[in-house]
Structure 1
Amino acid sequence: MNKSLFLLPALLLGLASAGSAPAPAPLSATAALRDPAGQVLGTAKFEQMGAGVHVTVEVRGLAAGQHGMHIHEYGRCTPGVDPAINKVVDFGGAGGHFDPGMSHNHDAPTTDNKHGHGGDLPMLTVGADGVGKASFMTDKASLTGENGILNRSLVIHAKPDDFKSDPAGLSGARERCGVIMRDGLTVRDYPLPGAQDFPEGVAYDAKKGVLYTGSAQNGTIYAINAQTGAVTKFQEGGALGRMVALGMKVDAQGRLWVAGGAQGTVSVLSPDGMTLNVLQTPKSPRPYVNDLVAAPDGNVYVTDSSRPVLFRVDKNMNLTAWLDLSKTPIKYQPGVNLNGIVATPDGKYLLAIQLNTGELWRIDLKTKAVKKVMGGLENGDGLLLDGQNLYVARNKNQVVAKVSLSADYASGKLVKEEPLAGLRFPATLAMVGGDLVVTQAQLDRMGGTPETPFKLTRFKKF
């Protein structure tokens, strides 16, 4: 028999393998486990597997026996106050247990996140040689999404965990701590100085090399040097009655446009921070002016998340109700409706995301015809259009999504979702050269305890 017949299947397999793209590496992270003196005495590895995470831990220098082990809220292995005893303790800066389900209850590692902390893990068993090893799966945590643990901390305690006593199962002192850092990804953070910043909007002035971001809490607007990271106050919150700053855009004249949320206003600021105009939308019980875009036709289009109307500001600063959305396929529902908005560079269309339904819509600027592009983008907040790629900040999902759009923007396909190095309720996006910048708005923490410093994060396009 011809030996080439035996070789043919292998040859075909090799050709098929050579022509196919390599599978992407699984999402993974590492925590270097340190003692209170800062010495690295162990490592924890995290690898995304489906909806859960495979965790492997190896640590040395601990007393023999069982030790409580938990994921804590903050990515800080520093001293801090333990609220349970109101004293500064080693690794107190890591905060309490990670609790994405807001259960406020310490429980077993098998308890779902609605009834127990998402950070409740199996115990670590340490041998007589002081070495502890563990390997397990958990579906309570993830490296992406609402249960994301990137840039949080793994803490190992001195005593066993009883899996019932709040807040930490009587597991004693914090003896090892490591920040869970994404593998193979570099980002740059722009920290903000305020304790109540909640940075919702972001815009970039390429001529000045400056990023603008504004507070959803008090309206303060900052200017950030995109190269150095230096932060200055561009305009104080409350200027001419503008109490908040949501969506932001810089127009061709260098003016900064700011959506005013529940005030129902659109503010226009000069390049040096003076208020030029405050435009008021029609009075109504529930206004929520959320985002805006300066389109190629010279007009600015404005979304309202509560009222089914798309506003337009013309070149003469006249604000009008341009499109009654109740007469289109877009159906407003309880919650946040139309939010992020962008204009296509050909000047033909607007694209807008409906946060509560996850639907992306195309609006024809000439005919006002509305077409659904796609669904499945729930919690879609800010948008950024780069050619045929649309980036979506999905706030509660804690990812930036990439959507590939058809040539006519009439359809789209979700390509990838990125948690970056750990996102905290991302809201809006801006482009700086070949990079993107996303706000970590933490709007889910308004009225609670946010992670500080607040920050914007810059990353390479994906």
Structure 2
Amino acid sequence: MRALILGTLGMTAALAAGGLALGGGAEMPMAMAAPATTPLRATASLRTPDGAAAGTATFEQVGAGVRVTVTATGLTPGQHGMHVHDLGKCTPGVDAATNTIVPFGGAGGHFDPGMSGNHDSPTAGNKYGHGGDAPMLTVGADGTGRATFTTDKFSLTGMTGVLNRSLVIHAQPDDYKSDPSGMTGARERCGIITRGDIAVRDYSLPGPQDFPEGVAYDARKGVLYTGSAANGTIYAVNANSGAVSIFNQGGGQGRGSALGLKVDPQGRVWAAGGATGTVSVFSPDGFPVAILKTPPSPDAYVNDLTPAPDGNVYVTDSTRPVIFRVTPDLKLSAWLDLAGTPLKYGPGINLNGIVATPDGRALLAVQLNTGDLWRIDLRTKAVTRVMGGLTRGDGLLLDGQTLYVVRNAEQVITKVTLNAGYTSGTVVAEEPLTGLRFPTTLTAVGGDLVVAQGQLNKLQGGTPEVPFKLTRFKKF
């Protein structure tokens, strides 16, 4: 997979495509509350190692940062180190510093979005110190500790989002310099940071290295499809039961990754092949129908595709400035050379997610490295800029005049309202759900959306959270 340095935090990520399945249909109703967009609030119920309630922490988004209020009980008087840890697990686990099983070791190490690898003070920038480094908790003679602070080292959304991570209080003071945790000693209190105003349903995937990238839905079968960016395996997931089976094993026909996925009106599954430069088409039962090759190139990156009302399938390439087209007889050709258009390719990942407007007049595609959304006229091939500001825009889903944009490293789904001609748009909401992990693409299942949590920032280094999952939630 191709890598790109993302944003000011220096996150290395294999970047990917958008997903949208055709069709709607009946499905098992879900008792979910619609996502709230503002203000963002979360809580963590603090527990002792034996599970007893021992305090509460609240988190409220304030601009780019968060206001934190902590009350903890039953602690030794004095100062106690306090940090946000990477994983949302208050279970026993291995402490990497001692290689022993410790209480709350399941929370992992300190949250480190800047990949600094360094423990530092709560005022150090995230490229110098852990993003989870927080002020100490001062405990009084009665064993109760209280702290209130505002920090921009972490937040409830974006690259520094701490939803579904853990707040841990340690036994000793923090020296704010010693790796990995400032000599703070044992983990004495732990709470998972959660939202109470939204419900989700997760579909777990079986593989330890799945890295799901594309997602598509076949309403006639009630099946979700998701493809692995790491090995090309495509799974079929029953949208009601959550049962998972292999639809097509990766590695066949030279397909080492499956990025953007779509289901066409015939029930065939289409997959973009990334650096292989291919588009794969599978029958509804998973057999290869065609492996279509783009022109040979050391710089190919076929990223996403979309069936259009004209019967053709249009394909983005993130490194070559061209849009490919596959005709109904499964012939692939270069349809639009973007050279000479206002859409300029630059370093990194360019065009990514793509959708066709329902009136059959245009395509919409997002350029990840610039954050621009583009309209491509299907009759004149005119390319016009719709809007900007969609940084790290990956997968797209068009629902009437509403466009959902998955912004991978930003770890949010952005809702855009488009005008009647799809020539301008306005951001109306941003949704981090219960803590997204480098989301890539999304699809619709009736009144719900399903997003793939790809974790592609961990594909070339780091330990992903397992199981990998798709997450389902109400449209917002």
For Structure 1 versus Structure 2, the TM-score category normalised by the shorter chain is over 0.9
Match of 1:96 among 109, 113, 124: 109
Question: Is 1:415 matched with 2:428?
Answer: yes
User: 1:461: which partner in 2?
Assistant: 475
Question: Is 1:320 matched with 2:333?
Answer: yes
Question: Is 1:50 matched with 2:50?
Answer: no
- Once the two structures are superposed, the pairs formed by residues 22-421 of structure 1 within 5 Å of their partners are 25-421=38-434
Q: Compare CA radii of gyration and give the structure with the larger one.
A: 1
Cα-Cα RMSD: 1.0
What letter is aligned with 2:445?
V
Aligned length: 440
Counterpart-to-counterpart distance in 1, 2:427 and 2:443:
20
User: 2:453: which partner in 1?
Assistant: 440
How big is the shift at 1:167? 0.3
Counterpart-to-counterpart distance in 1, 2:38 and 2:302:
41
What letter is aligned with 1:202?
V
User: 1:3: which partner in 2?
Assistant: none
How big is the shift at 1:229? 1.1
What letter is aligned with 1:424?
R
How big is the shift at 1:237? 0.7
What letter is aligned with 2:435?
G
For the residue of structure 1 that corresponds to 2:160, the secondary structure is coil
User: 2:465: which partner in 1?
Assistant: 451
Asked if the contact 2:37/2:429 (under 8 Å) is kept, the reply is: no
Asked if the contact 2:283/2:289 (under 8 Å) is kept, the reply is: yes
For the residue of structure 1 that corresponds to 2:325, the secondary structure is strand
How big is the shift at 1:182? 1.4
Residue-by-residue CA offset, 1:153-198 (whole Å, 9 max, x unaligned): 0000011111110000000000111100013111111111111111
For the residue of structure 2 that corresponds to 1:444, the secondary structure is helix
Identity %: 71
Cα gap change, 1:93 to 1:191, in 2 (>3 Å): same
Counterpart-to-counterpart distance in 2, 1:430 and 1:39:
40
What letter is aligned with 2:471?
T
Counterpart-to-counterpart distance in 1, 2:444 and 2:223:
11
How big is the shift at 1:323? 0.4
Question: For structure 1, which segment, 448-457 or 265-274, has the greater mean C-alpha deviation from structure 2 after superposition?
Answer: 448-457
For the residue of structure 1 that corresponds to 2:127, the secondary structure is coil
How big is the shift at 1:327? 2.4
Residue-by-residue CA offset, 1:285-321 (whole Å, 9 max, x unaligned): 2100000001011000000001000000001110000
User: 1:426: which partner in 2?
Assistant: 439
**Runs (5+) with no aligned partner, structure 2:** 1-35
Pick 1 or 2: higher relative contact order, CA cutoff 8 A, min separation 6. Answer: 2
How big is the shift at 1:25? 4.8
**Runs (5+) with no aligned partner, structure 1:** 1-22
Cα gap change, 1:228 to 1:63, in 2 (>3 Å): same
How big is the shift at 1:24? 7.1
Counterpart-to-counterpart distance in 1, 2:339 and 2:195:
44
Stretches (4+) displaced over 4 A: none
Residue-by-residue CA offset, 1:392-415 (whole Å, 9 max, x unaligned): 000010000011101000111111
Counterpart-to-counterpart distance in 1, 2:418 and 2:100:
54
What letter is aligned with 1:291?
D
How big is the shift at 1:26? 1.7
